[in-house]
Structure 1
Amino acid sequence: MTNTRWWKGEIVYQVYPRSFQDTNNDGIGDLQGVIQHLDYLKSLGVTMIWLSPVYQSPMVDMGYDISDYQAIDPQFGTMADFDQLLVEAKKRGIKLIMDLVVNHTSDQHTWFKQALADPSSPYRKYYIFKKTTDGKVPNNWRSIFGGSTWTEVPNEPGTYYFHTFAPQQPELNWENPKLRQAIYQMINWWLDKGIAGYRIDAITHLKKDLDWASLPPDGDDGLVAVTKKGQNRPGLNKFLDELKAATFDKYNAVTVGEAYGVPAGDLPQFIGPDGYFSMIFDFSYLNIDIANVDEWYRGKADWSIKELKDTIFSAQKSIKQAGGWTANVLENHDQPRVLSKLIRNKAEQTPQAAKALAAMYYFLPGVPFIYQGQEIGMKNFQRTKISEFNDVSSINNYQMALKAGFQPQQALELLNDRSRDNARTPMQWDNTSFGGFSRTQPWLSMGNDRQKINVTDENLDPTSVLNFYRAMGKLRHNPHYRSTLIDGKLIELPVPDDVIAYQRQLGEQIISVFVNLSAESQKVSLPTGSLLLNSQTNLVQDAANLILHPYQAVVFETD
């Protein structure tokens, strides 16, 4: 079935339920909290919610370690709450997509428990076990969270199970057709419930090189990145084709792949007219600030606005050549806050800069995704000790940094910049001590740079980041501009290096976007036509030029 691409005009909001709204005062956000704010989401123009995992889980990796795919974790509520969320969202014209995590389960999943309890259990073949006779692990692959990808099975010396991520996330064996069928049944069970589709986690890891061979080490630990043998490997296509045919195609579901490392040449298979997924995230510039995605303790990368611009347009070109669609993101639950990341001078991390970044990505071809708190300009935190962090990846990177010879203070600085906990601090609804998120101490401490950065204050300020996001949502849904913003071709405009500018053109209509991402004023050729959106209160021009203030973004309908 060819994708009808009904989802092209959606605006998606990612809810991280644990940090969104706590309604029962246990310090943890819940499904009732999401229901409580549906009208708020509608005010942003949101038509679809991506709900981060709410499945039953021991929460080693905050829900990406699932112990029961068909149960809601009690800390989020009940299945009845979930069903109510579906109904209430639908009343407001909002669809719901779930997180699909099928590369691994939790070690508390009944399948894995049975696999451990009995070596002859059929569930042993649902996972990847290897036996060695020399007392050593099967190979030298390093997991994404650090350390070996192999953990020894208790009471079975020389037998190991495999995990790309944490030891508590044993890898599913996609080579086993019985396992695949069990996964497809579960996926369809949720689609039958009425969800619109899925965001699909870590999907490029399903296929491993079955020689399980060691490679020359690429680090001081004698290990080699698992991605070299377990990401985007030949044969992955077979699994993804079957997955699509057995599930998503039957429901015309929307699917958004988290597909790190897909080479441009493979994009048509992933997101072309008959691709595995509706779209994949454009991560091209999300890690522009670090040298190594998996080992970010190794430090920052140097980059310029021009490089950011080139990366964005080059990724858009590849997507277009693939005949595909992209999910455009500035932030997600795995990324630091964009204002702290892309605006390097702290004094310039202002609402003006937050609005400029918003306009930069929002009108590109593809579907805009907003991560909770992005729309109010939330920032990174400052933590002073490792015990204040929760994220498993951050704690592992801290340990790796110490092993590599960093001082604890240096390692903490890196964590403050890059920890996934930055995105997971509770949502700031008001300026009270717990931000209106809860009446009790939250599961993770609040952000500590939040003066005037909250929904209540920003509601009252017509020039706020929040009201700018609302204005962008209105513009995208406006019937007069909608087709051009969805289907219009992308044309990069020649402007100074620190300005990102482009047009969207469909037929006679042209919409032009100019974004100054620097602290200096910048001149661009004066567009003729009507101003649709201005991130600041005034507009300066001379006879031939538009003079953009520092961090000013403007959108025109040009003649």
Structure 2
Amino acid sequence: MKTSTSLLLVLLLIGYTNTTNAQKKETPIDKKWWKEAIIYQLYPRSFQDSNGDGVGDLKGITQRLDYLQSLGIDAIWLNPICASPNDDNGYDISDYKAIMKEMGTMADFDEMLAGMKKRNIKLIMDLVVNHSSDEHQWFIEAKKSRDNKYRNYYHWWPAEKGTPPKRFSIFDENSDAWRYEPNTNSYYLHYFSRKQPDLNWENPQLRQEMYDIMKFWLDKGVSGFRLDAFPFIAKDTNWPVMPADFTNEQFVRYYGADAKLHNYLREMNEVILSKYKDVYTVGEGGVIPFQKVMDFVDEDRKEINTLYHDEIANIWGRDAYDVGAYQVGRNNVLGMKEIVNKWDKKMESKGWNTLYFTNHDQSRAVSRYGNDSPEFREKSAKMLYTFLLTQRATPYIYNGDEIGMTNIRFKTAAEYNDLQTRNTYNQLIKISNAKAAEYLLNQQELSRDNSRTPMQWNATKNAGFTTGNPWLTINKNYTTVNVEANSKDKNSILNYAKKLAKIRKENPIFVYGKLEIIDPANPDVFAYTRELNGKKIIVLLNFTSKTTTISAPLLAQKTTQWIGNYPTPFQKELRPYESVILKVN
């Protein structure tokens, strides 16, 4: 396919108008470690098992710290490790100041954190702020009587007032967010699983408990928090009746991000976060409307540093909010450009953006945004890595993406561990076998379990993850897709990722440089420039399996290739899934 004339003209203009450093004033930069960081999300259950019980643990992470350091990462976001009955894989916490039994001990945590600090790797804890486990002592006490001192740590509806106003639960099999509790003849609220009762942030005692928890971990030496489901902590407790034609666009109005949320965040900052140096916060902001993002991340408001959004995930391969059928090959490059551009421009002078492709709630990047066929898996994985590490945003890399791990694509409901998948399937099977079967087919591409399969370290039994029975099935391609094989191949995804991380660290243009998208109407190529203090680079990314012709001799004369994902340099054509970074001379 021919690249549009506008791209060629822009590239020519770049070459002819490039100026020397002497002609440019240096751009003032508000440097922060978390802006420059490459953050690696580590799902501990699936990373490394050290004792043969089939579940990854803290000692396993410690054993792999040299590997993590070799990636060139600066920080680790660690999914929940606090004590939990694991109804939702750790997002149901029964003790915020203790370690999950399967993960090890507090001594194991201290050893792991000391090892990270020795290697200059910071730790970001995953803090579940909206709900606890129903096995937390607070909730056990709250159920005893209506006048128990912990009663107002949660949201209750007395049964004598009738049926509570309808609220949908994301994980409940009946989709009902109110659960009857017979001992006190009341209903408690749970937006997620029935074993995850929502905390009542209107109670100042509860808020102080949460700040004490943050202090506990900060005093241990963690460098920040990822605030799980934080928009939901501020609820309209008048419980307005939802309209019969409720839509996803009305979600925030009835579920969270109430005006009180800003009060809570500012109080959190004043009471605890401001007392520690360079603490970083990132909020799970998928339900925050775009027009309100600066209300959270504008540094003058003293709330949180960043939030990460799901907008790219919502326009690629699925309908928003995980509804509708998976659309195979839905390469929405134009939609991605629009999203990247609007977020970048929004935060051009204040705030800071984050970007990711995979996390524990999304399927594998190379399977979804790239192409995991044997022909294109490595090329497309490198291309996606190039995108993340060349944006003006903090990149989040999910464990296993650095070796191109793929979706496992379970065929039956019995194979899934994911609570959301199991419960939705159980709902649908009551309605129609055909609907349930269609859902399972979609989940092969979208299920969270795709990204939660154990890390593939080598070609030995169980991929070197465990000597026991793994908690979740290991992808059969581990014999070829693994860390050991990648390490031995100088042209592997892993070694490409390391090179790119080094380039980003050594060149501020990749972090702070101005971003301009070029040829925005091109449906296949995502191309943009980064510019800082008289230096300019061009990034070209082909998101398709087709060759894209670029007839631009000037590129060979006026640019130098910095790095690319093909063994031979870029010439006039962008080959399938090709990525290239060019220095403008």
What is aligned with 1:377? Answer: 404
Q: CA deviation digits over 1:478-529, x for unaligned, max 9?
A: 2xx2x21121111112273211111111111112211111111113445322
**Shift, 1:432, TM fit:** 2.2
User: Per the alignment, do residues 386 and 95 of structure 1 end up closer, same or farther by CA in structure 2, a change over 3 Å counting?
Assistant: same
Report the residue type matching 2:131 in the other structure.
H
Q: CA deviation digits over 1:144-175, x for unaligned, max 9?
A: 22411100013344x10001111100000001
Matches within 5 A, 1:6-25: 6-25=33-52
User: Per the alignment, do residues 224 and 160 of structure 1 end up closer, same or farther by CA in structure 2, a change over 3 Å counting?
Assistant: farther
**Aligned partner (choices 241, 246, 264) of residue 239 of structure 1:** 264
The answer as to whether partners of 1:149 and 1:164 remain within 8 angstroms in 2 is: yes
SS in 1 for 2:110: helix
**Aligned partner (choices 443, 457, 467) of residue 471 of structure 2:** 443
Matches within 5 A, 1:123-272: 123-133=150-160, 135-136=162-163, 138-146=164-172, 147-157=175-185, 159-218=186-245, 227-251=252-276, 252-272=278-298
The answer as to whether partners of 1:284 and 1:315 remain within 8 angstroms in 2 is: no
What is aligned with 1:490? Answer: 515
Q: Does 160-169 or 270-279 show the bigger shift?
A: 270-279
The answer as to whether partners of 1:218 and 1:225 remain within 8 angstroms in 2 is: no
User: Per the alignment, do residues 219 and 263 of structure 1 end up closer, same or farther by CA in structure 2, a change over 3 Å counting?
Assistant: closer
Residues 1:539 and 2:566 are matched in the alignment: no
Residues 1:414 and 2:447 are matched in the alignment: no
User: Per the alignment, do residues 236 and 325 of structure 1 end up closer, same or farther by CA in structure 2, a change over 3 Å counting?
Assistant: same
**Shift, 1:283, TM fit:** 2.4
The answer as to whether partners of 1:141 and 1:225 remain within 8 angstroms in 2 is: no
What is aligned with 2:89? Answer: 62
User: Per the alignment, do residues 502 and 403 of structure 1 end up closer, same or farther by CA in structure 2, a change over 3 Å counting?
Assistant: farther
TM-score, normalization by structure 1:
0.93
Relative to its length, the structure with more helix (as a share) is 2
User: Per the alignment, do residues 540 and 112 of structure 1 end up closer, same or farther by CA in structure 2, a change over 3 Å counting?
Assistant: closer
**Distance in 2, Cα, partners of 1:404 & 1:505:** 56
The answer as to whether partners of 2:370 and 2:384 remain within 8 angstroms in 1 is: no
**Distance in 2, Cα, partners of 1:306 & 1:473:** 27
What is aligned with 2:486? Answer: 458
**Distance in 2, Cα, partners of 1:417 & 1:133:** 45
The answer as to whether partners of 2:80 and 2:126 remain within 8 angstroms in 1 is: yes
**Distance in 1, Cα, partners of 2:144 & 2:374:** 57
Residues 1:558 and 2:580 are matched in the alignment: no
Q: Which runs of 5+ in 2 are unaligned?
A: 1-29
User: Per the alignment, do residues 379 and 189 of structure 1 end up closer, same or farther by CA in structure 2, a change over 3 Å counting?
Assistant: same
**Distance in 2, Cα, partners of 1:501 & 1:401:** 42
**Shift, 1:218, TM fit:** 4.5
Matches within 5 A, 1:278-427: 278-289=305-316, 292-296=319-323, 299-300=326-327, 304-320=332-348, 323-343=350-370, 346=373, 349-403=376-430, 405=432, 406-427=434-455
**Shift, 1:295, TM fit:** 4.7
Q: Does 42-51 or 264-273 show the bigger shift?
A: 264-273
**Distance in 1, Cα, partners of 2:524 & 2:105:** 49
What is aligned with 1:519? Answer: 545
SS in 2 for 1:519: coil
Q: CA deviation digits over 1:56-114, x for unaligned, max 9?
A: 00000100100000000121111011111111111111111100111110000000000
What is aligned with 1:472? Answer: 500
**Aligned partner (choices 112, 116, 119) of residue 146 of structure 2:** 119
**Distance in 2, Cα, partners of 1:539 & 1:79:** 50
**Shift, 1:449, TM fit:** 3.8
Report the residue type matching 2:148 in the other structure.
S
User: Per the alignment, do residues 226 and 305 of structure 1 end up closer, same or farther by CA in structure 2, a change over 3 Å counting?
Assistant: closer
The answer as to whether partners of 1:143 and 1:226 remain within 8 angstroms in 2 is: no
The answer as to whether partners of 2:282 and 2:306 remain within 8 angstroms in 1 is: yes
**Distance in 2, Cα, partners of 1:10 & 1:307:** 26
Report the residue type matching 2:568 in the other structure.
N
Report the residue type matching 1:70 in the other structure.
K
User: Per the alignment, do residues 224 and 308 of structure 1 end up closer, same or farther by CA in structure 2, a change over 3 Å counting?
Assistant: closer
Aligned residues: 545
What is aligned with 1:53? Answer: 80
**Shift, 1:215, TM fit:** 1.3
Q: Does 109-118 or 347-356 show the bigger shift?
A: 347-356
Q: CA deviation digits over 1:359-404, x for unaligned, max 9?
A: 1222101111111001111111122221111111111222344355
TM-score, normalization by structure 2:
0.89
**Distance in 1, Cα, partners of 2:88 & 2:250:** 20
**Distance in 1, Cα, partners of 2:116 & 2:36:** 17
**Distance in 2, Cα, partners of 1:532 & 1:199:** 34
Report the residue type matching 2:207 in the other structure.
R
Report the residue type matching 2:529 in the other structure.
Q
What is aligned with 1:78? Answer: 105
**Shift, 1:236, TM fit:** 1.5
The answer as to whether partners of 2:81 and 2:90 remain within 8 angstroms in 1 is: yes
The answer as to whether partners of 2:530 and 2:537 remain within 8 angstroms in 1 is: yes
**Shift, 1:550, TM fit:** 0.6
**Shift, 1:348, TM fit:** 5.9
The answer as to whether partners of 2:144 and 2:184 remain within 8 angstroms in 1 is: no
SS in 2 for 1:339: helix
**Distance in 2, Cα, partners of 1:290 & 1:529:** 35
The answer as to whether partners of 2:331 and 2:369 remain within 8 angstroms in 1 is: no
**Distance in 1, Cα, partners of 2:472 & 2:375:** 27
**Shift, 1:308, TM fit:** 2.4
**Distance in 1, Cα, partners of 2:251 & 2:529:** 41
User: Per the alignment, do residues 179 and 163 of structure 1 end up closer, same or farther by CA in structure 2, a change over 3 Å counting?
Assistant: same
SS in 2 for 1:357: helix
Q: Which runs of 5+ in 1 are unaligned?
A: none
Report the residue type matching 2:534 in the other structure.
E
The answer as to whether partners of 2:38 and 2:396 remain within 8 angstroms in 1 is: yes
SS in 2 for 1:80: helix
User: Per the alignment, do residues 376 and 156 of structure 1 end up closer, same or farther by CA in structure 2, a change over 3 Å counting?
Assistant: same
Runs of 4+ in 1 over 6 A off after TM superposition: none
**Distance in 2, Cα, partners of 1:202 & 1:178:** 20
User: Per the alignment, do residues 100 and 506 of structure 1 end up closer, same or farther by CA in structure 2, a change over 3 Å counting?
Assistant: same
The answer as to whether partners of 1:58 and 1:65 remain within 8 angstroms in 2 is: yes
**Aligned Cα root-mean-square deviation (Å):** 2.2
**Shift, 1:210, TM fit:** 2.1
Report the residue type matching 2:424 in the other structure.
N
Report the residue type matching 2:573 in the other structure.
I
